[in-house]
Amino acid sequence: MPEAITVAQLRALLASTTPPMLCDVRRQPAYLDSPAVIPGAVRRLPEEVASWGSQLQAQGEVVVYCVHGHEVSQGVTVQLAGLGLRARYLLGGIEQWKAEGGSTAMLAD
């Protein structure tokens, strides 16, 4: 079972001196439907995790999220862990982040 992180835990990590790499891994249709991301996140396609995941540094932590924190982000977390990375997924996804008052931002083109 992949490791999860709560919104409160993520907020604390993002405010720390060693914040995790934050990846939005929503499938393209879900992202296009609501293109705002958690501030500081990078956008990565979940179906290409083998490619971009192998390029990440093995130090530090990676937190991924999708819409609701189910199969997409959990699957990516499992794949990243298989590559030797410390990876967790956001419980409840971006929808839980927003429900708990988290801000969102648009990615710069």
Tell me the domains of the chain and their CATH numbers. Answer: 4-106 (3.40.250.10)
Phi, psi of 64 (to 5 degrees): -115, 155
Q: What is the pTM of this model?
A: 0.94
pLDDT at position 39 is: 95
pLDDT tier for residue 79 given thresholds of 50, 70 and 90: very high
Residue 1 has pLDDT above 90, yes or no: no
Residue 88 has pLDDT above 80, yes or no: yes
- CA of 5: how far to CAs of 14, 48, 90, 108, in Å? 12, 23, 5, 26
Q: To the nearest 10°, the Cα dihedral for 97, 103, 49, 62? A: -80
Cβ neighbours for 19, distance < 8 A, ≥ 6 positions apart: 13, 40
Mean pLDDT of 21-44: 95
